[in-house]
Every structure is written in structure tokens, then in C-alpha cells.
Amino acid sequence: MMAALFALVPLLVADEAPIHLLLRKIILAFNDVVFFYVIFVDSVYLVFTLMALAEVRTYLRSRDKERLEQIFRSRLVPPISILCPAYNEGATIVESVRSLLRLKYSKHEVVVINDGSKDQTLQYLIEAFGMERLEFTFENSVKSKSVRGLYASPRYPKLIVVDKENGGKADALNAGINASRYPLFCTVDADALLEEDALLHVVKPMLDRTKFVPVTGGIIRAANGCRVIKGRVEAVGLPRRPIEIFQIVEYMRAFLCGRTAQSALNVMLIVSGAFGLFHKATAKIVGGYSTDTVGEDKELVVKIVRYLKEQKREYEVLFVPQTVCWTEVPATWQTLGRQRNRWHRGMFEVLLKHKDLFFNRTYGRVGWFGMPYFLFIEAIGPIVELSGYIILPLAALLGLLAPLNAFLYTMCAVVFGIILSVSSVLLEEASFHRYPRWKELLTLNLYAVLENFGYRQLTLWWRLRGTIDWIRGQKQWGAQQRQGFGSQAKAA
Amino acid sequence: MSLELVTLELVLSSLGIALASLVLFIMTMRMYREWRAAVHVHVRESMTGVLGKILDTERAFSIQDRSVLIDGEQIYTVPKPGGPVGDAVREFLVDHLSFISGDLRGRLVTILESAGYVAASMRQLRSRLGETRLKACMMLGGMHSRIAIPALIEIFNDDPDGKVRITAAEALGVVGAEPAVAHLLKALRDPTRFQQVRVAEVLARMGMMAVPALTAAVDDDDVRMSALALDILADIGWMSDFDPAVRALTHASPEVRARAAEALGRAGALEATEAVMKAAADPAWFVRVRVMKALEALGAPRERSQRARYLGTLEQGLHDGVWWVRQHAAEALVKVGEDGRRLLARAMIEAPDSPARRASVSALQLHLIASAAKSRKTAIAR
């Protein structure tokens, strides 16, 4: 392909035939489209960042942590079932469950769903918590594969383990919904650690809004580099590997800026699978998690929103920036690539499955802004931006654009990107201030700059591959590697 | 391309300047934060030593203007309210106020009042900004000053912002003002659950002072109000006048009936056992669940005929159409002791319906696991 392009060079430069002039015009026009598209996307993100700044500031002013703890000791707050699906999570499962059992809340249960793990996940749980097999029945209100056994522990009455045949994460969560007892359920990944007051914050919007709040989500932060002791993040720190630091900056931008703004606009359609709180009755009405997609977390939110819009019910899907869920982010390029590929495939699957929401009056701003945002900015972004990286040098090579101009165009887009990344660090510093050391602050700023030279392009490539795999109909999750929180404790 | 070189250069330089300003701003913000933290640490360190002397009840305490005197000797000059130093002092004192009571609390409240901290917060109640008024209410609650009660009542009655009104009611409750009960009950009618929980928590904290008003509220026309009043009474652990709660067992609203059963169980109202047993035939399944739980909490009566009726009610619960009721009936039977477990063992073998058998099996299983764990623990302890 590249050879063919190079072969075209003399023709395009030398020949003045109308067809060649047309080709040149097309290339230049495409260049313009890509440039303005990138500027437009970055401008949207900048507006999101400014909105997030205002939102977080309001949020921080109104919070009163100590009172919240006292208030949530009350029996009047609805109890919560925490669903923790686990597939081959032997490395982290015990620590994760410990952290979940320790959460501050008046009444909660932890339902771990062992999704037919091939490793020692179930065995570790049985040994660590003294689980005993039970004869128990529960209603199968949402579809899931058959349950092999149910385990409870006399020492940990809040803990239930469901052992079932392998059916994927969505299927495991459905089994968890069936086994859970309480009116709200919170999904937590087995490799994630919730902060002790996470439930207090994430449930609050469900109780203090006059509108119905069926779903809330909290911020996901990278636990890599933090000191984790007995399932608790004792000291926040930065990891050593650049790949992990890049993701920390990326998560700040995506969650702190993106989700906060989407929540303010009430167009939030994604609540991270790693941590989200749901109104169980509503989730059951829409049939629970769909097992035919790798983006089951996004899909459930879209289904709920869709259902409520069709019922003409007033609702809000909210993001709570204070609520922290720590998770182990991929530490190898290969795993990260697979993760991004899967996320992108999931997004396309959801967009296609709910295509009738687009520009449909019934769905209000979700149809006019929420869904188009995901399609035109998140989903097709990689295609447009990466093609820009090819077309711009090509135009310079063909003499259609002065090399200096091409360089300046690229730099404008890159510096805008850097401003966005640095803004997310600013938001973090102005709000939650999780990285207290000067060295960490400087490192985050440095990586906010560096991520625009290579890392950003790489993630675009993985997302493009995700698009191609989605077109090919690939449905696999891809293997994941866990280091376990113990190794982080040692590293720190 | 539509943009000229000069324009591009201009755009790029503007972006560069914006980026540099952003980074500079972050650094300045960090420096300011660290300075404030240092002020707080300094204030806390200097006040910690002084606090020991202030809270020593064997020594005479007095305050003149802003000078704290112990045994007539000036030991500390309280800084003026406001600014990082004033904020740090107020925070320090308010933190300690929540851990102490009586005369000791009185000493710290006197300091806050004499040094002008209470007056400063009361001035903020007149602010045009709702956020400032809300914060002032919170502060006044935290400072436990009774001087602020009239101003807080005024805010509760007249403030245009609902959140501020609720916070004022909450502050009144925290200060422990008896007139607050009526205001808090009014605030309990707020449409959001969170505000209700906030107010309910304050009422529960007020304890017996709130019981008469809450008992009266059980008969309220508003169903939510009755249900909440029952919950708060159960939290307080009221000891007498169970009649309104017993009457609520036959209320038209199943929600109220359920809360009444739960409240009677949690309060340990033994004289209401008979009425709770009757409620086991309630048409709403979630009421029956609460009834089973309440019966478990109340325990089996000693009197023989009443005990037989109690066991019969729970045995009936084993055959309920809803598994959740069956499960609780079985768990209650386990708690009864030998009699109950015998009934469960019989149901496990003889019950005509398999759900009752399953509920019996799981309850007994849980009991056996718990017993085994207990004996293991005892053995290890030995």
C-alpha cells in the first residue's frame, strides 16, 4: 500500500490533469476535516473539563464526611448487595473480598460469584473465610447458567459465594442479582478495592434527589503503585512503569472530567463495570445484563435509560467523583491493547444494538447528544484521527502543504491535547488531591505532556483494531493478567 | 488548507501560553494548600497543650475577651474568627466538642462564644448565599451553642432554601434544644429520603426527649410520617406506650404495618407478642417477613399456651408461599431452641411441600455450621 502511495507522488506533483487536481483537492479537504475534527473533539473535552471543575467544586462544598458516616448508620437507608464476579481471580480475590466486607454502611452483603474459574478462586475463598456449602433456593428472575453451589460462612455472615458454570461476566452478574437479597446492588470487579466510605457516597444521590436515580457510578483509580495492605489502600503513590502512569492520567481525564460533565448534563450512558450501583427492580425489568455483548456494563445502563424514557419517567444517572474504586490497571502493553480493543468493540455493539435511539425525540437529550457523542467522538475518533496521521505527512510529501505548516498543524492538535491532560491534573489537585508529594505532582504533569507523543496514538491504534474486530464479529474477552495487590505492597 | 502560517503560529503560541499558565497555576495551588496545612498543624500543636489545662476540672476556668484564664493565669489568647488561623482554631475545638459532654463541653462552648466564633457564624446566617447560610448552620450545630437556638429556629421557619432549613433543624437537634423536636418532625416531611434520614438520625440521637412527639406521630395521616416515626422509636428503643405501634399493625398501609412489626420486635415489646402473632396472617408478604423477624427478636413466650401459639405461627410461616417468609420463619424457629429445632427437623422430613422442607434444611444447616464454628472457637480458646 505504501509503495502504491509513493508511486502516486510524481504523478500528483507533476501532472496538472483535472483528475489529479481533484485528487489534491480531496486530500487537502480531508486534511482540513481531520484537523477541525480533532480541534472540535478537544474543544468538547475542554468544555467538559470546565463543567467538571464547576461540578466538583459544588460537590466538595456540600459534602460533610463525618455526618455522612453517622447518617448512614441508620436503618432507614436501603441495604445494598455487592456483586463481585470472579473468573480466575485467585491472585486478588481474598484481598478484594476483605475490603468489601469492611465497607462502612448500615447493612450490606457481599455476593461473590465464582464463574466456573479454572484456578483456585473458590478454594481460596473457602479456606480464607471458612465457607460451608449450603442447600438454598432463590428465584431465577434473570437468566443465568446453572448454579453448582452456594456457600456461606458463620464467621462472615455478610458473605455469600455462588459457584456457577462459566458463562461470562454478564452471566455471573445475573446469577448474583438472583442470589442477592437487597433492593440495590453494586457491581465490583474482583480485582478492585473500594474505599471504606465508597458506599456512603455512591448511594447518597439515590436518596437525596427528588428524581428517580436508577444508577450511580464512582471514579476508578489505578491501584498500581499504591501500598495495599489487607485489602485497603494505605498509601497512594505512583507506579514506576510509564504504561501505568499514562493510564493514571488517562483515568483522571476520562472519569474526573468526562463522566462528571456527562453526569451534570444527564447524558451519562457508561457506568464502569468495575464499580456501579443499580436499582435492582429496574435492572430486573430490563432483563439484567445481556450476555451477547462484551460491553455489558454500558449496555445495562443504556437499557435502563431507554426503558425509563419510554415510560416517560423522570430520572438521573449520576457520577459521584468522591467515590473511589481502586483497580489494578494493565501493566503490559499487550494486556492494555486487549482491554482497549474489548472496550471499543463493546461500545460499537451497544451503539448498534440501540441504534434506534439516535436522533429520536422519545429519548430526548440521550438520543440527541448522549448516543451521538459516543458515536461521533468516542467510536469513530480513532479512524479519523489516525487517518490524519497518514494524510498530513502525505500532503506535505506531495508538496500540497508546506512542511512547516504540516508541523504547526500537528503541534496545535498535540498542544491542545496536552492542555486537556494537564487540566485533568489540575482538577485532581483542586479537588481530591490524592497525590500529595511534589514529586508525584511533577511526574503527573510530565506524563500529561508525554502521553500525547506515542501513548495517545497507540491507544488510537488499539481502538481502531477494536473497530476492525467488531466488524469481523469477534466476541472474545481476551486473557487478563493479574499481579495481585500483594506485589504492589512490596513494590511500594 | 484554510489557515495561514501566521494564524497557525498565533494559535500555537496562545496554546503554549495557556499551557504554561495552567502548570504555573497548579504549582501555586499546591503551595497555597501546603501553607494552609502548615497553619493547621501549627494551631493544633499549640492548642493541644492548652486544651489539657482547659479540660482539667480541678482548675478554675474563666475567659476575658479572648484570653483564656486557668486559676487566674492567662494561658492562651484565642485568635479572632475568620482566616486560616481562626478556621483552624474553630475546627480544632468543634472536633473535640463531639467527644466530650457536660461541664467540659461547656468550657469549650464558652470559649467559642466569648471569642466571637458563634457570633461570626450567626452573622453568616444573614448571608445572601445559600451555601454560606448552610455552612453557618452546620457550624452552629457543631459549636453546640444555645445562644444560636433562636436564630436557627428563625432560619428553619423562614429560609427560602429547603436544604438550609433542614440543616438548621439538624443543628437544633445537635444542640439538643427541646423546641427542636417539633421542627425536626416538620422537617421529616421532606420529599427526599436522604434529608429524612438526616433528620431521623438527629431525632434518634435526642433520645427520650423526642419519644412523646414521635409516639403521637405514629397516628399521623401521612403514611410516610407514621412509618418514619416507628423506625425512629425503634432506634431510640422506647420502653413504654406501645399502643400506637400495636394499632399500626392493622393500619391500611402495608408499609406502616411492616414498620410497626419491625419496631415492636426491635424494641423488645413483649406485651405486644400476641398482636404481632396475629399480624402473621397479613396479606402483604413483606409484612409477614417483618413479623417473622419481629417474632424472632421477641423470642418465645414462657407461658405454655402462648408459647404453643408462637411456635404454631412460625410453623405456619414455614409453609408460606414466599421463600423469604419461609426462610425467616425457619431462622426464628432455630433461635427458639430445642422446641423450634425439633419442629424444623419434623418439617424437614414430613412437610408436604418441598419449599418448607428446603427452608428447614437451610436453617438447620446454618445453625449446625454456626454451632460447629462456635465449638471450634471454644476448643481453640481452651
pLDDT, tens digit (0-9, with 9 covering 90-100), for B321-373: 887 788 888 888 888 888 888 888 777 777 667 666 777 777 776 666 656 55
- How far is the C-alpha of B8 from the C-alpha of A414, rounded, in Å? 13
Residue from the list A62, A64, A137 with its beta carbon closest to the beta carbon of B323 = A137
Per-residue pLDDT of B182-232, as tens digits, reads 888 888 887 788 888 888 888 888 888 888 889 889 988 888 899 899 989
Domain hosting residue A268, numbered range: 15-62+191-492
Q: Flag whether A71 is in a domain.
A: no
Q: Flag whether B96 is in a domain.
A: yes
Q: Flag whether A324 is in a domain.
A: yes
Q: Flag whether B7 is in a domain.
A: no
Q: Which of A67, A178, A450 to mutate to test the interface with B (most CBs of B within 10 A)?
A: A67
Radius of gyration, CA atoms only, chain B: 30
Classified as helix, coil or strand, A400 is coil
Q: How many domains does chain B have?
A: 2
Contact between residue A293 and residue A174 where contact means Cβ atoms under 8 Å apart: no
Q: How many CA atoms lie within 13 A of A483 on its CB side?
A: 19
DSSP codes, A108-147: EEEEEEEES-SSSHHHHHHHHHT-EEE-------S--PPE
475542554: which residue's cell?
A46
Whether residues A422 and B22 touch (CB distance < 8 A) is answered with yes
Q: Flag whether B355 is in a domain.
A: yes
User: Is the model more confident about A62 or about B379?
Assistant: A62
Give chain A positions within 8 Å (CB) of B372: 154
Q: How confident is the model at residue B151 (pLDDT cuts 50, 70, 90)?
A: very high
Chain A: nearest CA to B285, how far in angstroms? 15
Per-residue pLDDT of A173-206, as tens digits, reads 999 999 998 999 999 988 888 888 889 889 988 9
Give percent of chain A with pLDDT exceeding 70. Answer: 91
- How far is the C-alpha of A438 from the C-alpha of A443, rounded, in Å? 8
Tell me the pLDDT of chain B averaged across its residues: 85
B35-70 burial, b for 16+ CB within 10 Å, e for fewer?
eeeeebeebeeebeeebeebbeeeeebebeeeebeb
Domain hosting residue B170, numbered range: 66-188
- How far is the C-alpha of A305 from the C-alpha of A312, rounded, in Å? 10
Chain B: nearest CA to A154, how far in angstroms? 5
Q: How many domains does chain A have?
A: 1
Look at strands B61-64 and A315-327 and give their pairing: unpaired
The cell for A325 is 474504586
Chain A: nearest CA to B191, how far in angstroms? 7
Q: Flag whether B204 is in a domain.
A: no
CB pairs under 8 A between A and B: 125
Nearest one of B256, A79, B320, B377 to B332, comparing CA atoms: B320
Give me the mean pLDDT over the B107-121 stretch.
92
Q: Flag whether A310 is in a domain.
A: yes
**A155–B contact, CB cutoff 8 A:** yes
DSSP3 helix / strand / coil % (chain B, rounded to 5): 75, 5, 20
Look at strands A227-229 and A147-152 and give their pairing: unpaired
Straight-line distance from the first to the last Cα atom of chain A, in angstroms, rounded to the nearest whole number:
48
- How far is the C-alpha of A474 from the C-alpha of A470, rounded, in Å? 6
Contact between residue A29 and residue A382 where contact means Cβ atoms under 8 Å apart: no
Residue from the list A35, A404, A419 with its beta carbon closest to the beta carbon of B18 = A419
Query: Could you tell me how many residues make up chain A?
Result: 492
Residue from the list A204, A206, A415 with its beta carbon closest to the beta carbon of B12 = A415
Give me the mean pLDDT over the A213-239 stretch.
89
Chain B CA closest to residue A205: B194
Whether residues B373 and A137 touch (CB distance < 8 A) is answered with no
- How far is the C-alpha of A395 from the C-alpha of A200, rounded, in Å? 55
497543650: which residue's cell?
B49
Give me the mean pLDDT over the A397-409 stretch.
79
Contact between residue A331 and residue A241 where contact means Cβ atoms under 8 Å apart: yes
Whether residues A74 and B26 touch (CB distance < 8 A) is answered with no
Contact between residue A319 and residue A262 where contact means Cβ atoms under 8 Å apart: yes
Classified as helix, coil or strand, B324 is helix
Whether residues A401 and B9 touch (CB distance < 8 A) is answered with no
User: Is the model more confident about A305 or about A99?
Assistant: A305
Interface pTM (ipTM) of the complex? 0.74
Chain A: nearest CA to B193, how far in angstroms? 5
Q: How confident is the model at residue A159 (pLDDT cuts 50, 70, 90)?
A: very high
- How far is the C-alpha of B39 from the C-alpha of B226, rounded, in Å? 49
Give me the mean pLDDT over the A293-306 stretch.
92
Q: Specify the pLDDT at position A330.
A: 92
Chain B CA closest to residue A421: B19
Whether residues A76 and B193 touch (CB distance < 8 A) is answered with yes
Q: Flag whether B363 is in a domain.
A: yes
Q: Specify the pLDDT at position B249.
A: 94
The cell for B190 is 421532606
Whether residues A67 and B198 touch (CB distance < 8 A) is answered with yes
Q: Flag whether B35 is in a domain.
A: no
Amino acid at B262: E
- How far is the C-alpha of A388 from the C-alpha of A383, rounded, in Å? 9
Last residue of a domain, one of B167, B188, B209: B188
Q: Which of A26, A35, A75, A209 to mutate to test the interface with B (most CBs of B within 10 A)?
A: A75
The cell for A251 is 483515568
Q: How confident is the model at residue A488 (pLDDT cuts 50, 70, 90)?
A: very low
Chain B: nearest CA to A335, how far in angstroms? 32
| Interface list for A 443-462 with B (CB within 8 A) | 445
Q: Flag whether A135 is in a domain.
A: no
Residue A406, C-beta contacts closer than 8 angstroms, at least 6 positions apart: A392, A393, A395, A396
Residue B30, C-beta contacts closer than 8 angstroms, at least 6 positions apart: A429, A438, A441
The cell for B133 is 447560610
Reading phi first (left if > 0) and then psi (alpha if -120 to 50, else beta), residue A264 is in alpha
Give chain A positions within 8 Å (CB) of B204: 74
Which helix H or strand E contains B265, and what residues bound it? helix B254-267
Whether residues A411 and B361 touch (CB distance < 8 A) is answered with no
Q: How confident is the model at residue B173 (pLDDT cuts 50, 70, 90)?
A: confident
* pLDDT higher than 80, residue A136: no
Whether residues B373 and A32 touch (CB distance < 8 A) is answered with no
Phi, psi of A134 (to 5 degrees): -125, 150
Whether residues B192 and A139 touch (CB distance < 8 A) is answered with no
- How far is the C-alpha of A123 from the C-alpha of B55, rounded, in Å? 55
Q: How confident is the model at residue A232 (pLDDT cuts 50, 70, 90)?
A: confident
Q: Flag whether A461 is in a domain.
A: yes
* pLDDT higher than 60, residue A370: yes
Residue B254, C-beta contacts closer than 8 angstroms, at least 6 positions apart: B282, B283, B284, B286, B287
Contact between residue A376 and residue A382 where contact means Cβ atoms under 8 Å apart: no
* pLDDT higher than 50, residue A490: no
Cα–Cα distances in angstroms (integers) from residue B295 to residues B308, B312, B322, B358, in the given order: 13, 12, 17, 21
Q: Flag whether A336 is in a domain.
A: yes
Last residue of a domain, one of B154, B172, B188: B188
- How far is the C-alpha of A324 from the C-alpha of A197, rounded, in Å? 9
Give chain B positions within 8 Å (CB) of A207: 192-194, 197
Last residue of a domain, one of B188, B215, B230: B188
Angle subtended at Cα B192 by Cα B189 and Cα B195, rounded to the nearest 5 degrees: 75
Give chain A positions within 8 Å (CB) of B344: none
Classified as helix, coil or strand, B90 is helix
Radius of gyration, CA atoms only, chain A: 24
Nearest one of B128, B119, B194 to B151, comparing CA atoms: B119
Cα–Cα distances in angstroms (integers) from residue B323 to residues A127, A137, A431, B318, B372, in the given order: 30, 8, 47, 9, 26
Per-residue pLDDT of A22-51, as tens digits, reads 777 887 788 888 888 888 998 899 999 999
Q: Flag whether B258 is in a domain.
A: no
* pLDDT higher than 60, residue A65: no
Q: Specify the pLDDT at position A492.
A: 34
Q: How confident is the model at residue A422 (pLDDT cuts 50, 70, 90)?
A: very high
Q: Flag whether B381 is in a domain.
A: yes
- How far is the C-alpha of B16 from the C-alpha of B13, rounded, in Å? 5
Give me the mean pLDDT over the A265-285 stretch.
92
Per-residue pLDDT of B280-315, as tens digits, reads 999 998 899 999 999 999 999 988 899 999 999 998
**A77–B contact, CB cutoff 8 A:** yes
Q: Flag whether A123 is in a domain.
A: no
Q: Flag whether A277 is in a domain.
A: yes
**A32–B contact, CB cutoff 8 A:** yes
Amino acid at A410: T
398482636: which residue's cell?
B275
For residue B78, the domain's CATH number is: 1.25.10.10
Phi, psi of A316 (to 5 degrees): -140, 135
* pLDDT higher than 90, residue A248: yes
Give chain B positions within 8 Å (CB) of A136: 358, 362
**A430–B contact, CB cutoff 8 A:** yes
- How far is the C-alpha of A225 from the C-alpha of A487, rounded, in Å? 10
| Interface list for A 36-55 with B (CB within 8 A) | none
Whether residues A32 and B235 touch (CB distance < 8 A) is answered with no
Judged by average pLDDT, the poorest of A62-71, B176-185, B345-354 is: A62-71
